[in-house]
């Protein structure tokens, strides 16, 4: 049984990747969306004075871009399953529900990380040129990025599975998603800010934020995993 | 049926009397405290109603709250002691043994204030007997809603969904009352309507979660699916409640915390009576709403029977 | 496959009830269906046909009562049972952005089929889609989608096949192909079909079931059915409206 679950899991992740590579729907829409966010950031920051240090708010702006782009992708990834009733076909096959959950989480996580990996250099190029950055502590940014994305993909997959079945799905997902994400965002932004600012004092702050995010991931992933079976079958 | 609504009405009357009685009673019995809540980053000093005090302030601008009190203000290596005569967001003026010294708020590295807090009646503190019980009930009813949601997911019985939903409605009512009274008090005590302070922020998030619960309910067509989704969301959302409840004890926060033994006996008794009263009011609203739901169900059932 | 099955009855449904609050989608449904039979389920909208199929295919749990498919209980043996049932719906249940072959291979993996490529090639041949196997199903016509969907449903050699209004939206040619495919596997399989089309349903079936308001109005083998009486009964249930 374990090996069958492994086969099913691999097949589902592979299917999502093949479909995405073929249509490039999520990467394109999410990537473009995050670029547009950068334009809006530029406008929003255009009136700041010369004393303004973009490093102070870089972490917040980055996570803002991540959280909004992620919702776009989450919605799409579940709409694929729902469109022609494929989810029903999946549920009819002898697959354990958690396998579906984790396969969707991994798929979403991969696309999310890909878009984030594109966003960060673009953001740095557009906003952080000329700021003195500590390369050593900047190397920790991918770590918190990964930890935060796990939480986003986990909770997001559960909520998107609900929201695709609601009327007005584009509105429902953010309403459910953002307040639930608040604790994670708080930790992720503080850790990212510490990593960008750098310096010996920042490391303590980074690891506290990191621990907070990992704690959130563990609790929320377990809760989502437990609830998914009931949600997906409804 | 009848007995449930009668009981609810009795609970409502009793709860109302207790809450109101405790509130009014404090004016005669517990009196008006001489000194109210002050802005501090410390925890132990947050609620102190009367008597001598000595504490550190978190930011220099908070010295405005202590005009007339003794202060020990430390600037870069220099300590000035004296009575605060004037203070603003930018500067504080001390009377140090006859010499008037003005210090820029930006230069202050730390400040300790001390004195005795008699003769400054703090009427705003009275909201404590309303705001705190209401807020506590909102947490309790949220927990009840999450519990019934869990029961629903396990049993799939519609009655639990109804109970969870009504409990959530009561939660929303109490959250709104808490928010309204809290904002008024914040203005009176802190001089601002709102502050992004840990307790206020997490409680605001909780408000959004409860509103989102109803948004979710309204956007799902199928009755059973709606119930399942709502139940799952309320369980996930409930995670914020303990965070909001305990956060003032975990990280420095301006929001007052009741310390063990921090309340004088008259205050403590009034506070407990108000809590019991508010709990009864919450129970009454829940029961009355539940009765209404059951009646609606019976009417619907009668309708289908008549059609068939 | 069918002959391996020791129990005579493919379906054993006992007092099956599916309710939420006072609203009952299924209300005490009981019947037995022998193996290799073809059951047509009729009834007005909201009669509980879809709910019945969802319960029998383990997608929904019953509130009370039991249902056994091939001797497997729909609740306790759900995972094992899914290996023995297939569903052909009016929805294709296929991913539009995968090719025909990829779709079938994907579901073959989900069922853990040995040598998936061989089985998939075999089925593509059977539904005459071999020449289109590298095309995205997005580009397929309704009839081709339905054929592919049949191939998907037969991948794991199910013994009981559920048909949820498979003819809706099909052109006459596609209908003929579907008829041919069903006829080809008819004698080895048990079929349960939901249908609005009385003529088609009666033509194919060996047993007929009429549901109204979640209750069984009529359950009889085809031989026992007087067609005129049957039509009257059906019309009367439609008059009952939505339960």
Residue of B nearest to C25 (CA): B224
Helices (H) and strands (E) in chain C, counts: 8, 10
Residues B102 and B130 in one domain: no
ipTM over 0.90: yes
pLDDT at residue C5 in the model: 46
Task: Confirm whether C209 is domain-assigned.
Answer: yes
Q: How many domains does chain B contain in total?
A: 2
Could you tell me the CATH number of the domain that includes residue B79?
2.30.30.100
Cβ atoms B84, B67 nearer than 8 A: yes
Helix, strand, or coil (residue C179) = helix
User: Using one digit for the tens of pLDDT, what is the confidence trace for C71-86?
Assistant: 999 999 988 899 999 9
What pTM was computed for the model?
0.85
- All residues of chain A having their beta carbon less than 8 Å from the beta carbon of residue C89 are 85, 88
Task: Confirm whether B274 is domain-assigned.
Answer: yes
For residue C188, give every residue at least 6 positions away whose Cβ sits within 8 Å of its Cβ, in sequence order, or none. C1, C2, C36, C159
Picking from C59, C83, C109, the nearest residue to A7 by CB comes out as: C109
Q: Taking 90 as the threshold, does the pLDDT of residue B17 lie above it?
A: yes
Task: Confirm whether B36 is domain-assigned.
Answer: no
The one-character DSSP state at A232 is: H
Picking from A23, A84, A95, the nearest residue to C91 by CB comes out as: A84
Which of B78, B97, B116 is a domain's end point?
B116
Mean pLDDT of C203-219: 89
Residue A115 exposure: Cα atoms within 13 Å on the Cβ side: 32
Residues B101 and B207 in one domain: no
User: To which residue do tokens 């609601």 refer?
Assistant: A166
Which of B72, B99, B116 is a domain's end point?
B116
pLDDT at residue A51 in the model: 81
- All residues of chain B having their beta carbon less than 8 Å from the beta carbon of residue C22 are 297, 300-301, 304
pLDDT at residue C240 in the model: 56
Could you tell me the CATH number of the domain that includes residue C59?
3.40.50.300
Residue of C nearest to A229 (CA): C59
Flag if C59 and A91 touch (Cβ within 8 Å). yes
User: To which residue do tokens 């959950």 refer?
Assistant: A101
Rounded to a whole number of angstroms, the distance from the CA of B180 to the nearest CA of chain A is 20
Q: Taking 60 as the threshold, does the pLDDT of residue C2 lie above it?
A: no
**pLDDT confidence band for C55 (50 / 70 / 90):** very high
Picking from A166, A220, A231, the nearest residue to B232 by CB comes out as: A231
Hey, how many other C-beta atoms are within 10 angstroms of the C-beta on C105?
Answer: 21
**pLDDT confidence band for C243 (50 / 70 / 90):** very low
The domain of C216 spans: 2-91+159-240
User: To which residue do tokens 């108000």 refer?
Assistant: B274
Q: Taking 90 as the threshold, does the pLDDT of residue A187 lie above it?
A: yes
- All residues of chain A having their beta carbon less than 8 Å from the beta carbon of residue B241 are none
User: CA-CA distances (angstroms) from residue B13 to A1, A96, B7, B135, B138?
Assistant: 61, 53, 10, 20, 20
Q: Show which of residues 45-84 on chain C sit within 8 Å of chain A, judged by CB atoms.
A: 57-60, 79-80, 82-83
Could you tell me the CATH number of the domain that includes residue B257?
1.20.120
User: Could you tell me which residues are beta bridge partners of residue B84?
Assistant: B94
Measured between alpha carbons, how far apart are the two ends of chain B, in Å? 26
Rounded to a whole number of angstroms, the distance from the CA of A223 to the nearest CA of chain B is 7
- Which among C17, C18, C19, C21 is the top mutation candidate for probing chain B, defined by the most B β-carbons within 10 Å of its own β-carbon? C21
Task: Confirm whether B45 is domain-assigned.
Answer: no
Which of B116, B141, B166 is a domain's end point?
B116
User: Could you tell me which residues are beta bridge partners of residue C178?
Assistant: none
pLDDT at residue A215 in the model: 95
Phi, psi at residue B219, to the nearest 5°? -105, 5
Phi, psi at residue A128, to the nearest 5°? -105, 10
Task: Confirm whether C123 is domain-assigned.
Answer: no
Q: What would the DSSP string read from start to end of C132-178?
A: GTTSBGGG--HHHHHHHHHHHHHTT--SEEEEESTTTT--HHHHHHH
**pLDDT confidence band for B31 (50 / 70 / 90):** low
Picking from C20, C63, C213, the nearest residue to B223 by CB comes out as: C20
Residue of C nearest to B301 (CA): C22
Q: Inform me whether the C-beta atom of residue C122 falls under 8 Å from chain A C-beta atoms.
A: no
Residues B106 and B126 in one domain: no
Task: Confirm whether B197 is domain-assigned.
Answer: yes
User: Using one digit for the tens of pLDDT, what is the confidence trace for A23-68?
Assistant: 888 889 999 999 999 999 999 988 887 788 888 889 999 999 999 9
How deeply is C196 buried, as exposed, middle or buried, from its count of CB atoms within 10 A (0-12, 13-18, 19+)? middle
Distance, C-alpha C223 to centroid of its chain: 22
Q: How many domains does chain C contain in total?
A: 1
In whole angstroms, how large is the CA radius of gyration of chain C?
A: 18
Mean pLDDT highest for which of A75-79, B47-51, B204-208? B204-208
CB pairs below 8 Å between B and C: how many? Answer: 19
What is the pLDDT of chain B when averaged over all its residues? Answer: 84
Residues B153 and B105 in one domain: no
Residues B241 and B299 in one domain: yes
Flag if C102 and A91 touch (Cβ within 8 Å). no
Q: How far apart are CA B111 and CA B79, in angstroms?
A: 9
Interface of B to A at Cβ within 8 Å reads 153, 202, 205, 208-209, 211-212, 215-216, 219-222, 224-225, 228-229, 232-233, 235-237, 239-240, 243
Q: Inform me whether the C-beta atom of residue A92 falls under 8 Å from chain C C-beta atoms.
A: yes
For residue B197, give every residue at least 6 positions away whose Cβ sits within 8 Å of its Cβ, in sequence order, or none. B253, B254, B255
- Among B32, B87, B6, B19, smallest CA distance to B282 is for B19
Residue C167, token pair as written in the block: 């003819």
Flag if B158 and C63 touch (Cβ within 8 Å). no
The one-character DSSP state at A83 is: H
User: Using one digit for the tens of pLDDT, what is the confidence trace for B134-163?
Assistant: 999 999 999 999 999 999 999 989 999 999
Picking from A172, A182, A227, the nearest residue to B219 by CB comes out as: A172
Residues B101 and B156 in one domain: no
Picking from C21, C213, C240, the nearest residue to B297 by CB comes out as: C21
- Among A18, A98, A88, A97, smallest CA distance to C94 is for A88
Helix, strand, or coil (residue B269) = helix
User: Using one digit for the tens of pLDDT, what is the confidence trace for B220-278?
Assistant: 988 899 999 999 999 999 988 999 998 888 877 778 777 666 677 788 888 899 999 99
User: Could you tell me which residues are beta bridge partners of residue A162?
Assistant: none
Task: Confirm whether B41 is domain-assigned.
Answer: no
Picking from A178, A179, A227, the nearest residue to B235 by CB comes out as: A227
pLDDT at residue B175 in the model: 97
User: Using one digit for the tens of pLDDT, what is the confidence trace for C137-189?
Assistant: 989 988 888 889 989 998 999 999 999 888 877 778 778 878 888 888 888 88
Task: Confirm whether B57 is domain-assigned.
Answer: yes
Task: Confirm whether C109 is domain-assigned.
Answer: no
User: Could you tell me which residues are beta bridge partners of residue B71?
Assistant: B82, B113
Cβ atoms A115, A30 nearer than 8 A: yes
- All residues of chain C having their beta carbon less than 8 Å from the beta carbon of residue A92 are 57-59, 82, 85-87
The domain of B73 spans: 52-116
Q: Inform me whether the C-beta atom of residue A24 falls under 8 Å from chain C C-beta atoms.
A: no
The one-character DSSP state at A234 is: -
Task: Confirm whether C136 is domain-assigned.
Answer: no
Residues B9 and B110 in one domain: no
Residue A181 exposure: Cα atoms within 13 Å on the Cβ side: 28
Q: What would the DSSP string read from start to end of B43-102?
A: STTSS--SSEEEEEESSGGGGGGGTTSEEEEEETTEEEEEEEEEE-SSEEEEEETTEEEE
Query: E strand or H helix at A50, and its extent?
Result: none
For residue A231, give every residue at least 6 positions away whose Cβ sits within 8 Å of its Cβ, in sequence order, or none. A158, A161, A162, B228, B229, B232
Cβ atoms C11, C32 nearer than 8 A: yes
């Amino acid at each position: 049984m374990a090996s069958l679950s492994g086969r099913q899991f691999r097949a589902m992740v592979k299917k999502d990747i093949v479909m995405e590579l073929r249509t490039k729907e999520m990467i394109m829409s999410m990537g473009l969306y995050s670029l547009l966010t950068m334009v809006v950031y530029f406008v929003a920051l255009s009136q700041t004075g010369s004393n303004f240090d973009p490093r102070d708010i870089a972490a917040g702006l980055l996570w803002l871009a991540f959280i909004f782009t992620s919702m776009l992708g989450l919605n799409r990834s579940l709409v694929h399953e729902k469109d022609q009733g494929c989810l029903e076909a999946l549920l009819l096959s002898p697959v354990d529900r958690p396998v579906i959950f984790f396969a969707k989480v991994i798929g979403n996580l991969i696309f999310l990380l890909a878009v984030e990996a594109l966003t960060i250099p673009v953001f740095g190029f557009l906003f952080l040129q000329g700021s003195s950055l500590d390369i050593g502590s900047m190397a920790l940014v991918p770590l918190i990025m990964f930890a935060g994305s796990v939480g986003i993909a986990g909770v997001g997959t559960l909520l998107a599975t609900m929201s695709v079945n609601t009327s007005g799905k584009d509105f429902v997902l953010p309403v459910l998603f953002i307040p639930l994400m608040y604790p994670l965002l708080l930790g992720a932004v503080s850790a990212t800010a510490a990593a960008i600012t750098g310096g010996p004092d920042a490391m303590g702050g980074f690891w506290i934020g990191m621990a907070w995010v990992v704690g959130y991931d563990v609790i929320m992933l377990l809760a989502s995993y437990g609830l998914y079976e009931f949600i997906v079958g409804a | 049926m009848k007995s449930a609504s009668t009981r609810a009405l009795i609970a409502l009357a009793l709860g109302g009397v207790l809450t109101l009685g405790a509130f009014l009673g404090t004016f005669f019995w517990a009196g008006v405290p001489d000194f109210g809540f002050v802005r501090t980053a410390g925890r132990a000093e947050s609620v102190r109603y009367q008597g001598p005090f000595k504490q550190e302030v978190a930011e220099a601008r908070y010295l405005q709250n202590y005009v007339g009190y003794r202060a020990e203000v430390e600037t870069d290596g220099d300590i000035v002691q004296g009575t605060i005569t004037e203070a603003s967001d930018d500067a504080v003026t001390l009377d140090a043994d006859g010499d008037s010294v003005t210090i820029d708020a930006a230069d202050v590295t730390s400040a300790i204030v001390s004195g005795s807090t008699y003769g400054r009646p703090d009427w705003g503190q009275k909201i404590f007997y309303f705001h705190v019980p209401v807020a506590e009930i909102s947490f309790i009813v949220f927990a009840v809603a999450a519990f019934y949601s869990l029961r629903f997911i396990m049993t799939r019985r519609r009655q639990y969904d109804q109970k969870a939903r009504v409990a959530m409605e009561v939660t929303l009512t109490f959250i709104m009352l808490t928010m309204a009274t809290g904002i008024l008090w914040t203005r009176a005590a802190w001089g601002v309507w709102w502050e992004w302070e840990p307790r206020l922020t997490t409680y605001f998030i909780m408000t959004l979660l409860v509103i989102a619960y109803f948004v979710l309910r309204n956007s799902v067509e199928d009755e059973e699916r709606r119930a399942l989704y709502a139940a799952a969301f309320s369980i996930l959302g409930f995670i914020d409640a303990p965070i909001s409840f305990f956060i003032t004890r975990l990280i420095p926060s301006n929001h007052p915390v009741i310390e063990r033994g921090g309340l004088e006996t008259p205050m403590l008794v009034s506070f407990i009576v108000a809590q019991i009263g508010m709990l009864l009011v919450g129970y009454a609203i829940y029961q009355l709403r539940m009765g209404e739901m059951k009646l609606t169900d019976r009417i619907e059932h009668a309708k289908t029977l008549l059609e068939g | 496959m069918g002959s391996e099955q020791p129990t005579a009855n493919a379906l054993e449904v006992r007092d099956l009830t599916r309710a939420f609050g006072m609203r009952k989608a299924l209300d005490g449904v009981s019947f037995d269906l022998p193996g290799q039979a073809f059951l047509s389920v009729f009834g007005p909208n909201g009669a509980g046909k879809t709910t019945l199929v969802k319960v029998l295919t383990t997608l929904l749990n019953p509130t009370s009562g039991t249902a056994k498919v091939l001797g497997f209980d729909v609740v306790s043996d759900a995972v094992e049972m899914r290996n023995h049932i297939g569903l052909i719906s009016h929805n294709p249940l296929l991913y539009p952005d995968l090719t025909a072959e990829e779709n079938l291979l994907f579901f073959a993996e989900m069922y853990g089929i040995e040598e998936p490529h061989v089985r998939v090639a075999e089925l593509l041949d059977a539904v005459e889609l071999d020449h289109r196997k590298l095309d995205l199903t997005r580009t397929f016509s309704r009839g081709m989608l339905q054929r592919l969907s049949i191939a998907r449903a037969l991948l794991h050699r199910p013994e009981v096949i559920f048909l949820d209004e498979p003819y809706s939206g099909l052109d006459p040619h596609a209908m003929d192909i579907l008829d041919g495919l069903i006829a080809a596997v008819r004698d080895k399989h048990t079929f349960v079909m939901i249908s609005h089309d009385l003529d088609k349903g009666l033509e194919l079936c060996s047993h007929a079931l009429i549901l109204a308001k979640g209750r069984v109005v009529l359950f009889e083998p085809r031989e026992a059915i007087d067609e005129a009486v049957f039509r009257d009964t059906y019309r009367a249930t439609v008059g009952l409206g939505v339960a």
